[in-house]
Chain A
Amino acid sequence: MTAPSEDIPVTADADAAARAPAAAGTPRLSVENLRILTAPRRGRPDADVVDEISFTVQPGQVLGLVGESGSGKTTVALALLGYFKRGLRLGGGKVLVDGQDVLALPEHELAKLRGRTIAYVPQDPASALNPVLKVGTQLREVFTVHGGDPGRLDEVLAEAGLEDPAPILAAYPHQLSGGQQQRVALAMAFACRPRLIVLDEPTTGLDVTTQRRVLDTVRGLCRTYQVAAVYISHDLAVVAEIADEVAVLYAGRLIEVGRAREVFASPAHPYTRGLMRAVPVLESTYELHGMAGSPPRPGSRPRGCFFQPRCEFAVAECELRQPDLVTVSPTGHAARCVRAAEVVALSGTAILAGERAEPASDEPVLTISGVSVSYTDKPVLRDVNLVVAARQSVAIVGTSGSGKTTLARCVVGLHKDWTGTITFAGQELAPGVRRRSQDQLRRIQFVSQNPYSSLNPRQTVGQIVGAPLAHFHKLGNRQHRQRIDDALTSVALRASFAARYPDELSGGERQRVALARALVVDPDLLVCDEVTSALDVSVQAAIVELLLRLQAERGLALLFITHNLPLVRSIADDVTVISAGQVCERGSVTQVLTAPSHDYTRQLLADVPAFERD
């Protein structure tokens, strides 16, 4: 084992040195032809969940493993620890950590390895820490189990960015913030100086500022202690920030590997290219492009290239066989595509898209003036002012807890204990739903964040979309059904979806159904509360595309609530930034995002992960 070089400072020099191609020396982690299958079940042949997974990670380097829901990234991550989820089993291949095959070890040897040689940082630190034990007790346990000097406790916490360890050690997990919890999880993972660390979307639940700090910590620790890291994420920008190398997973196959900067600057696989076109970017206004279709599930994958049915570059050859990895650059950038060379050449121009046309200012549809909300004594919103004009799209941006969702709930009438005035189409809105007129209720519609809880699982899509229609318009049977069909068609779903139940739909399809339910009664204002935050980027892009099209077609006004700043660029005309219940900045998107006047906005913008940093 290489002795950890604890005296390497995290300076720019060390940074640069670590980023240089680590050609010399054996890789710390080497995965060879990993194949994981579903366990055989009655009446179904076993299918491979992931196959032909091979990659290496050098000491001190971070590999970003990118993929959307269902691509198999968590399956691969857990296999690095020799662990398989229930219903899955190893089909072949090796996971070598410093030359030792993890998958060949018996369970008791593995147990010794986990935590000491290979550490894992889970997605949700809150559920990974024991709620009834103090943080200190849990951290000490790591040393007791794996051996080590418990006196290093403070040092370990300091490394993870927790400068004042005493109160942290004495606290129970729930007394810490999400960021602190994740740092404790990081401290735990790095405590025994592991040789490999696997991070499974460790920043997903965190706001951008906290995320930035956690990312910096991870990178710093990996460099300092020459730990190899595998960082799993669906967020391309985050991976671009932290990773030296990138591996893109699609339908259980690595479809592109290479140096992070190269892969993101000139993707060689049509899927990666598609993902890049779906990611909103801060620097300029891009039109987002969703990808048609959805990834094939294990067991029902197409012949030939798995991406071919969704691929705009597909040729006859793609249907015949799985393409091999084609190397497109001397640094090892490779993609599993027969037209990789062409795709690389294309990407530079194709990703850019036209500026979002700003609609002419119109008379205001929604005017919020002096709205304040308090829960008991705590102010949630303080004197908020906001105007949405007809056909205009206004974004409200803030981190979690800023009060942005409360504002949305005031507008739609779910929250009724507010002061101030909200005027809609010239009339003042009563606080609660019950005192608003049918017409007002119909003209303001709401789409909520989580498509997994916004649809009644016991009703068909037809019943769900039909509910508002039946409430506001007493239509004949045929007309009723026609309106539902129209609404489904307008959100790009087939009319036959009306007979389906929500559990038969994907996340994107569910969110389309929720949109159809809002649109079926022809609203003037659509309030969207984080409507894309539960979705994959390619699906998010498709929903944004759809929203913009609908807005143009129907002359909708949009109030778009989000924490995702780059997304604002693609969807909104005006933006209002909220922090701690107060508006700190308001203006056109271009103005606020390129020349922010408030410190809070500047901080937010600086913390957003980006593809290019220097």
Chain B
Amino acid sequence: MARRPEAFAVLGRAVRTPRGAVGLAIGGAVVLVAVIGPALAPYSSTEFVTKPFARASAVALLGGDTLGRDVLSRTLDGGWELLLMAAVATALGVAAGALIGVVAAYFGGWIDNVLMRAVDVILAFPQLVFALLLVSILGPKIWLIVLAVAISHAPQVARVTRAASLDITERDFVKAMQILGIPGRRIIRRDVLPNLTSVLMVEVGLRLTYSILVIAGLSFLGFGLQPPAASWGLMINENRVGLIANPWGVLMPAILIALLTIGVNTFTDAVARASLGVGGRSTEPDPLVGLAVEGVSA
């Protein structure tokens, strides 16, 4: 009989909890705004529609920004870039970190030492500072920002993955493969990684939250899409001088970033609980199953 892969099973369980449903709804709504927003924008994001910091009116529903462009249009247009960069940075960071962690745990010895000391060195830099350092040396290129954020994630993911893998690599089914002479990379791929699914899913969620914050922060500081392009982080920076005249120019992007991180984080929390079997009715231990194995731990 076929069985749903672990990832889908956990996601399904997470969505059915109130926490997961709320998180998904909030995060999903923001993603929807960012993805279909550009198509809905009434004006081009670079078109001068009204006066700088004009109040909300029929012409510009959320007023004008620092140069008199439509805040609504720029808000709708300014999210996809942030999302895309965050997603790519997260994927790269988690993939690299997971690989480092699982290799260090599986092979141990000097490989473990070299990898984990390298990880410690990168960990010594605060995430944002590390990204700023790279970007200010090499210039504000999009790929560089993504790479910098990914690199800043990798060590943390590597630590978590290594700890989780150490438990798996000590299990007998891994030993059973080792004594057949099956090469390590195949054992890692077939036996270790599939058992890390839940751990990595939670890491993806967590790292996505951080990616969004770091990239939006970089964008606020001027590293990201360059003016006149629209970007939520950049908008907050550009429009903060007019906060009193037209607060929407700052509030809209800020609210969306906040909702996005809250949504992602809440959903991740639900996934973590679902994968651990904590809380949530459907994951309550079955008393009958418990009985059947009670004598086994002996």
Contact = CB atoms under 8 A, between A and B. Distances in A.
Interface of A: 38-39, 47, 49, 68-70, 72-75, 85-88, 123, 201, 204-205, 234, 297-299, 412-414, 433-434, 436, 438, 441-442, 446, 448-450, 452-459, 464, 467-468, 471-472, 499-501, 506-507, 514, 517, 534, 536
B177 A450 contact: no
Contacts of B3: 501
Contacts of B288: 38, 47, 297-299
Interface stretch (B34-42, B168-176, B217-225, B272-280): B168-176
B292 interface: yes
Nearest to B2: A499
Given A72-B291, A299-B288, A414-B179, A454 B173 contact: yes
Interface residues of B, number: 31
27 contacts: A38-B288, A39-B287, A47-B288, A69-B295, A69-B296, A70-B292, A74-B295, A75-B291, A87-B285, A88-B287, A234-B298, A297-B292, A298-B288, A299-B288, A412-B179, A434-B181, A441-B180, A446-B176, A452-B296, A453-B171, A453-B173, A456-B191, A459-B191, A471-B182, A500-B1, A534-B296, A536-B295
A17 B104 CA distance: 65
Main secondary structure of the interface of A (DSSP, over half): loop
A457 B298 CA distance: 20
A453 B295 contact: no
B176 A69 contact: no
Given A441-B180, A448-B176, A467-B190, 6 more contacts: A69-B295, A433-B179, A434-B181, A454-B175, A459-B190, A517-B176
Interface string B171-213: 1110111111110000000110011010000000000000000
A205 B171 CA distance: 20
Contact of B172 (A201, A450, A467): A450
A229 to B, nearest CB: 19
B290 interface: yes
A505 B172 CA distance: 17
B60 to A, nearest CB: 53
A68 B296 CA distance: 10
Nearest to A234: B295
B6 interface: yes
Nearest to A68: B295
A215 B291 CA distance: 26
B294 A69 contact: yes
Contacts of B286: 87
B293 interface: yes
B298 A70 contact: no
Nearest to A503: B289
A182 to B, nearest CB: 14
Nearest to A67: B295
A433 B182 CA distance: 9
- Give me the 8 closest cross-chain CB pairs, A-B, nearest first: A87-B287, A69-B295, A454-B172, A458-B194, A456-B173, A441-B181, A448-B172, A70-B292
A473 to B, nearest CB: 12
Given A38-B287, A88-B287, A467 B182 contact: yes
A433 B178 contact: yes
Contacts of A536: 295
B294 A70 contact: yes
A197 B186 CA distance: 53
B296 A471 contact: no
A299 to B, nearest CB: 6
* Residue of B194, B195, B287, B293 with most chain A CB atoms under a 10 A cut-off: B287
A448 B195 CA distance: 20
* Residue of A69, A433, A438, A506 with most chain B CB atoms under a 10 A cut-off: A69
Given A38-B288, A39-B287, A452-B296, A414 B173 contact: no
A457 to B, nearest CB: 7
A459 to B, nearest CB: 8
Contacts of A72: 291
B286 to A, nearest CB: 8
Nearest to A499: B1
A471 B180 contact: yes
Given A467-B177, A501-B3, A87 B182 contact: no
A514 B6 CA distance: 23
A33 to B, nearest CB: 20
* Residue of A38, A47, A87, A88 with most chain B CB atoms under a 10 A cut-off: A87
B181 A455 contact: no
Given A88-B287, A454-B172, A413 B179 contact: yes
B181 A70 contact: no
Nearest to A500: B1
Contacts of A204: 298
Contacts of A450: 172
A495 B294 CA distance: 28
A446 B179 contact: yes
Nearest to B298: A204
B178 A414 contact: yes
A5 to B, nearest CB: 35
A517 B179 CA distance: 12
A430 to B, nearest CB: 11
Contacts of A467: 177, 180, 182, 190
A366 to B, nearest CB: 15
A242 B173 CA distance: 38
Contacts of A201: 298
Contacts of A205: 298
B189 to A, nearest CB: 12
Interface in B50-106: none
Contacts of A448: 172, 175-176
Nearest to B179: A412
A471 B191 CA distance: 14
Contacts of B171: 453-454
B179 to A, nearest CB: 5
Contact of B181 (A47, A74, A433): A433
Contacts of A299: 288
Nearest to B1: A499
Contacts of A73: 295
B113 to A, nearest CB: 18
A88 B191 CA distance: 37
A123 B294 CA distance: 11
Nearest to B182: A471
A534 B298 CA distance: 7
Interface in B1-26: 1, 3, 6
A70 B287 CA distance: 11
B250 to A, nearest CB: 48
Contacts of A452: 296
Contacts of B178: 414, 433
Contact of B195 (A458, A464, A499, A506): A458
Contacts of B296: 69, 452, 507, 534
A442 B182 CA distance: 11
A85 B176 contact: no
Contacts of A438: 181
Contact of A456 (B1, B179, B195, B298): B195
